[in-house]
Structure 1
Amino acid sequence: MKIKQLYKKYKSIIKFGIVGCINTGVDFFTFTLLLSIFGIDKLVCQVGGYSMGVINSFVLNKLWTFNDKKEKVNPIVQFAKFVITNIISLGISLVGLNILSNKFYINVYVSKVIVTLFLQVFNYVVYKLFIFKGKANKQLAA
């Protein structure tokens, strides 16, 4: 396949990856700021960083990744579904971060990377199938 065809076929996954990198940057920046500068507990830092990433993620994924600009969709309901999904992800991340860093003694930042990578796959599937139903999803279904 040509590069253009590959891009067209996997456009939403590529965009999701870019948005994920931006979200991860926002998350890690907030996490590091709270942990290093303010000395807050790592699990509280995880909640703060993750929350900032979620807000960024909703906006960028809705408008860019999944091109979901329908006016018929109630954005409040959609955001609520998004938040519920991310609360589940946050719970998984807290358990994963705690187990990897406290039980397996893996560096907290390495633990965070492992947990984040796992959750990227989980979140993409849930966003694509249950939350955003824009043009990107219709193109993939065809």
Structure 2
Amino acid sequence: MKLVANITNYVFDGKFKCLSRFSLVGISNTIIDFIIFTIFQGLIGVNYTISQVLGYSFGVVNSFIFNKKWTFQGGKSNKKIYNELFQFIIVNIISLAITVIFMKLLVKDFRLNVYLAKILVTFIAQITNFIAYKLWIFN
């Protein structure tokens, strides 16, 4: 039990603190995103592009709250919260545009299942977001 506590402490408070916390927040964002996406696209029948925007938006709200308060809490940012929020929104609009473009490409041109395409574009968004959050928003 002590070994698990030591590993957990090392991962979430040690060298990998920022990345591991970002990953955990990302998992929660993804779960929220997929639930909303599935409700709108799968159950209600809304177009997958609109469902992507809705799901992604719900995940973004969760992301801002937890990344600001927990993941990047140690940042030395002197920015006002509205400046961080503005930057966060800009990054996520760009990230959303990237995911919608790639999703359409994967679904229409490569005839990939919409849920598999969703998984792939989620990974693209996570890489883009982590770099932007770490270097620009919460630094």
Aligned to 1:102: 108
Listed one character per residue, the Cα deviations across residues 14-44 of structure 1 (whole Å, up to 9, x for unaligned) are 0000000000001000000011221111100
Q: Distance in 2 between matches of 1:98 and 1:80?
A: 27
Residue identity in the other structure for 1:74: K
Q: Distance in 2 between matches of 1:72 and 1:117?
A: 30
Residue identity in the other structure for 1:51: S
| 8 Å contact kept, 2:11–2:20 | no
DSSP 3-state at the match of 1:9: coil
Give aligned-pair identity as a percent: 39
Residues 45/6 of structure 1: CA separation in 2 closer, same or farther (3 Å cut) = closer
List gaps (5 residues or longer) in structure 2. Answer: 1-5
Corresponding position: 1:41 with 2:41: no
Aligned residue pair count: 132
Aligned to 1:124: 130
Higher relative contact order (CA 8 A, sep 6+): 1
Residues 47/25 of structure 1: CA separation in 2 closer, same or farther (3 Å cut) = same
Residue identity in the other structure for 2:104: N
Corresponding position: 1:93 with 2:99: yes
RMSD: 1.9
- 4+ long deviations beyond 2 Å: 2-7, 68-73
Residues 6/41 of structure 1: CA separation in 2 closer, same or farther (3 Å cut) = closer
Corresponding position: 1:75 with 2:81: yes
| 8 Å contact kept, 2:75–2:138 | no
Q: Scaled by the length of structure 2, what TM-score is found?
A: 0.88
Alignment of 1:58-73 (within 5 A): 58-67=64-73, 72-73=78-79
Aligned to 1:114: 120
Q: Distance in 2 between matches of 1:114 and 1:32?
A: 16
Residues 129/105 of structure 1: CA separation in 2 closer, same or farther (3 Å cut) = same
Q: Distance in 2 between matches of 1:71 and 1:14?
A: 20
Residues 6/63 of structure 1: CA separation in 2 closer, same or farther (3 Å cut) = closer
